Each structure stands twice: as C-alpha cells, then as structure tokens.
Copies of this chain bind each other. A is one copy, B any other.
Amino acid sequence: MGAPILVDNADLAVKTLGVCRIDSPLLPLLGERPTTQHYIDESDKVLYDDTALMISSRGVALDDLPGFEPAGPRRKIYFDPSKTRVGIVTCGGLCPGLNNVIRGLVLELTSHYRVRRIFGFRNGYQGFIARYGHDVVDLTPESVANIDEDGGTILGSSRGQQDPAEIVDCLSRMNINILFVIGGDGTLRGAGQIAREAETRGEKIAVVGIPKTIDNDIPYIDQSFGFQTAFGKAAESIRVAHAEATSAPGGLGVVRLMGRHSGFIACYATLAKSNADVVLIPELPFKLEGDGGLLNYVRRRVAERGHAVVVVAEGAGQELVVGQPESTDASGNRKLHDIGPELSRRIKEYFDAEGIELNLKYIDPSYVIRSVPANPYDSVYTIRLAHAAVHAAMSGRTEMVVGRWRRRFIHIPIPLAISQRNQVDPAGDLWMSVLEATGQPPRFE
C-alpha cells in the first residue's frame, strides 16, 4: 500500500452537475418504508481509514476525518430518464469483465431508470472521432443479454488519447448526457479532461469512470474487476510450468505474468498454487550475479530438487535490461523492456557457463489471462460496480469513478484515482505470505 499518504476531505469531494430534484424511478421498487435505507443520504460518508492515518492522527475528532461519498441510489436524481441519452466506451488493454460492465450498465439503465437510448462508441476514444470511421452501436437489453459469456469487449478498444474538444463536440452533437468510460489511468485522465471541457462549455454531461486495471494497481480500490479471473488463469500457467519443469532433466519453467508496476497477479497466482520457487515483482529490485543473486539461487534450487519455476512480473528487473532505447506506447505509457526473454537468456548463459544441463520452458500467457470471460466473483463484482456507476451518473456526479473501499462501494474523484499506484508492500503480509510459500530469500542481493 506504499507510504502513508495525506488525504483530506477536499481531495475526496466529488463533483456534481447540480441539485437533484427528480424523483428516482426506483421508488416503486424500493418502497416508501420508514427507514428507506436503500437510498443513500447525500450526507453519508465512508470513513477513509488507514493504518498510517490511525497512527498519525491521534487526537483528531471523528467529524474531521476524511471520508468518501458512498455509492448507491439517491431518492432524488439529476437527469430525467425519459430524456437521457447515454454513451459507453471501453479503452486500453483487455481485462476480464469488460462485457459484464457494459451489460450491467445497459440493463440497469433500461430496466430500472427506463433510459431509452444508449450508444456504444467503438474502439476506445477513436469512436468519437469522425475520421476513424467507426460506427456507433445501439445497445439494448437484447443485444447485451449474453455478452458476458465472452471475453474481450464487444465495443472494441484502442490505446491512446484523442482531443477532448472533439470528443465533447461529438457528445454534444449526439445530445449525450452521460458518458461511461471504462479504462485504466491514462483513459481516466482523458475522461477527466472530457468532463472539464464539458464543464467549461457549460454542457451538462456527467462523465463517470469504471476503473479497469488487470494489474490491480488503482488506489482506493480494494480489488479491480477482472483481477481474480486473471490470477486464477495465471495460476494455471504456473501449474503448467511446474509440469514442464518436473518432466525434464534440469527443468526450469519461466512464467512471465502481467504487472507493469505492481506484482499483485504474480503474488496471488503463486499463492493459489504453491508450485513456484521464485517470484519477481516490480516493487523489489533484484540482482542476478553473485552469491546472493538470482542466478545462483536458481542453480541451487535446480540442483537440489531437479527443477524450478520462476514467476516474473513484466515490470520486474527493468534495471537489468540495458542498452535498449526508451519509448512510449499509444497510451503514453513508457514501454517496458521485456524482462521475460531477457531473464531467460541470462539464465541460459549462466547454466551454459557452469556446464549444467538446463531445459528452460518460457511461458507467456498474457492473452489467455486478459481475454477469458469473467469468473463468478468478477461477474458479481462487475454487475455491482455497474449499478453503482449508473446511480452516480443519474444523480449528476461527474469527473469521478466508482470503486470499492473496505468493502463498501464509493465515489472517488478522478484526480485522486489517478494520483498514485497501488503496489505490493514489501513489508506487508501479502509479500510475507509469498516468501513463506516459495521459501525464497527476502532479497536477491
């Protein structure tokens, strides 16, 4: 979770387009009961607690503690459903559950709020820009009924930003009141720009994000959707690597998993099936050479057991890949050096130099992990996220994302959601459990 961060209520405040005056069409569903607890009161608050906070703010009164706005339906909403037109777009890399989110948004908008027009924009932000020539898709309850059976996104996706002004032109021209953006931090940054561009023009467009990150690295979110599906599939690859490694003399399986800046998938996949001998994550630099280095450790492990499995997150050991030019991808992310092949090369050279037999099998299951349908947990999670996002948008929230914090669904302002990354804490109990499960030393140094 990284170092303690100072957050105050100003950071946590969510923008809204205006005062909610319209009765929610959910009223008949939820009933006019005495408690009416189904509705979120506008003054509710989810406490932002953190160990750091607990330690640092002794003596502070509860009223002043920072808190998130809880997600959920409001009794009064901002948009008149019968006149509301909605857009949905998916951006960036694939992640299990994208279709589930689209489906959840469409079903909730239509069946509960009776929204009639929902447009799917194709291939990420390109879909708003005329020159790409992508068609716009009408989304209906029928057309999305079974899309959760498939991985990927029925809307297509693309990386990279487009001009916020052009996007707002498009939204304005199509009279769209609400835009749901499903994407990672670059995408959400773009969503923030769109929201502010609309605000500047005086357009009442609610821009609501559903954060997508297979790496589980978005802050203030317990676990990002698709993450459980992803590490479950990743665990299969570790199992395969183990079968390969044990089936040949000097067998070594090297499994490269996702994780640009955060090693969550590598850690969880390893714990799901304790077949790995070493896990390497971006949060912890490691040395290859020397007595305490990785190469020597792998050599000893293969000698003792006849085989070994190394799991490496894509962003680990960047400092080891030297001499390759720096570059960025269309989303503006710095292109990582591919540690997997490089690591395999170095291990081969080392075993070769030592004259030890090595049967290295390199496994990169990335597409399989990101393109499978959501598992039951992520199916539930995405539908609940989608419900939360619809309620937020209908009540006029904008420039925010929905998330789950300490197991409650909340609203997070976009600037806060992209302010940092969630990472594996090298001093926390997750990494501790990994060390205990693999038996590897705390550092290769």
Known: A57-B62, A249-B126, A442-B31. A231 touches B49 (CB 8 A): no
A47–B158 CA distance with the chains assembled, in angstroms: 42
Of residues 66 through 107 on chain A, the ones whose CB sits less than 8 Å from some CB of chain B are 67, 71-73, 94, 98, 107
Do residues B71 and A249 form an inter-chain contact, with CB atoms below 8 A? Answer: no
Do residues A232 and B376 form an inter-chain contact, with CB atoms below 8 A? Answer: yes
Do residues B228 and A376 form an inter-chain contact, with CB atoms below 8 A? Answer: yes
B-side contacts of A31, CB under 8 Å: 442-443
Q: Give, as a whole number of angstroms, the nearest-CB distance from A130 to chain B.
A: 15
Q: Is A165 an interface residue (CB 8 A)?
A: no
Do residues B379 and A272 form an inter-chain contact, with CB atoms below 8 A? Answer: yes
Do residues B61 and A54 form an inter-chain contact, with CB atoms below 8 A? Answer: no
Question: How many of chain A's residues touch chain B, expressed as a range?
Answer: 35 or more
Q: Give, as a whole number of angstroms, the nearest-CB distance from A3 to chain B.
A: 11
A48–B367 CA distance with the chains assembled, in angstroms: 41
Do residues B58 and A51 form an inter-chain contact, with CB atoms below 8 A? Answer: no
Select which of B61, B71, B371, B375 is within 8 A of A61 by beta carbon.
B61
Most B C-beta atoms less than 10 A away, residue of A49, A363, A377, A443: A377
Do residues B429 and A154 form an inter-chain contact, with CB atoms below 8 A? Answer: no
Q: Give, as a whole number of angstroms, the nearest-CB distance from A42 to chain B.
A: 14
Of residues 431 through 445 on chain A, the ones whose CB sits less than 8 Å from some CB of chain B are 432-433, 435-437, 439, 441-443
Q: Mark A366-383, 1 if CB is under 8 A from B, else 0.
A: 011001100111011001
Select which of B122, B242, B251, B367 is within 8 A of A240 by beta carbon.
B367
A441–B33 CA distance with the chains assembled, in angstroms: 14
Q: Is A214 an interface residue (CB 8 A)?
A: no
- For the complex formed by this chain, how many copies does it contain in all? 4
A157–B430 CA distance with the chains assembled, in angstroms: 30
B-side contacts of A371, CB under 8 Å: 240, 243-244, 247
Do residues A47 and B46 form an inter-chain contact, with CB atoms below 8 A? Answer: no
Q: Give, as a whole number of angstroms, the nearest-CB distance from A346 to chain B.
A: 21
A67–B251 CA distance with the chains assembled, in angstroms: 43
Select which of B72, B268, B380, B432 is within 8 A of A432 by beta carbon.
B72
Select which of B63, B154, B380 is within 8 A of A271 by beta carbon.
B380
Known: A61-B60, A435-B29. A383 touches B274 (CB 8 A): yes
B-side contacts of A372, CB under 8 Å: 236, 240, 243
B-side contacts of A57, CB under 8 Å: 62
Select which of B111, B152, B383, B441 is within 8 A of A247 by beta carbon.
B152
Q: Give, as a whole number of angstroms, the nearest-CB distance from A15 to chain B.
A: 22
Smallest Cβ-Cβ distance to A135: which chain B residue = B306
Q: Is A241 an interface residue (CB 8 A)?
A: yes
Select which of B51, B232, B441 is within 8 A of A377 by beta carbon.
B232
Do residues B54 and A62 form an inter-chain contact, with CB atoms below 8 A? Answer: yes
Do residues B248 and A157 form an inter-chain contact, with CB atoms below 8 A? Answer: yes
Do residues B243 and A152 form an inter-chain contact, with CB atoms below 8 A? Answer: yes
B-side contacts of A306, CB under 8 Å: 156
Do residues A384 and B241 form an inter-chain contact, with CB atoms below 8 A? Answer: no
Select which of B59, B153, B428 is within 8 A of A37 by beta carbon.
B428
Smallest Cβ-Cβ distance to A249: which chain B residue = B123
Smallest Cβ-Cβ distance to A123: which chain B residue = B249
Do residues B46 and A442 form an inter-chain contact, with CB atoms below 8 A? Answer: no
Q: Is A149 an interface residue (CB 8 A)?
A: yes
Q: Give 19 new A-B contacts, CB below 8 A, not counting A57-B62, A146-B146, A271-B379.
A: A29-B435, A31-B443, A47-B54, A58-B63, A94-B244, A126-B249, A150-B239, A156-B251, A156-B306, A158-B249, A235-B379, A237-B368, A240-B367, A271-B380, A272-B379, A273-B376, A375-B375, A387-B432, A406-B407
Q: List 13 A-B contacts (CB under 8 A).
A: A36-B427, A58-B62, A73-B432, A94-B243, A134-B249, A150-B242, A151-B240, A152-B242, A232-B377, A271-B383, A375-B375, A377-B377, A388-B429
Residue numbers of A with Cβ under 8 A of B are 29-31, 35-38, 44-47, 49, 51, 54, 57-63, 67, 71-73, 94, 98, 107-108, 111-112, 122-123, 126, 132, 134, 146, 149-154, 156-158, 222, 228, 231-232, 235-237, 239-244, 246-249, 251, 268-269, 271-274, 306, 361, 363, 365, 367-368, 371-372, 375-377, 379-380, 383-384, 387-388, 406-407, 409, 425, 427-430, 432-433, 435-437, 439, 441-443
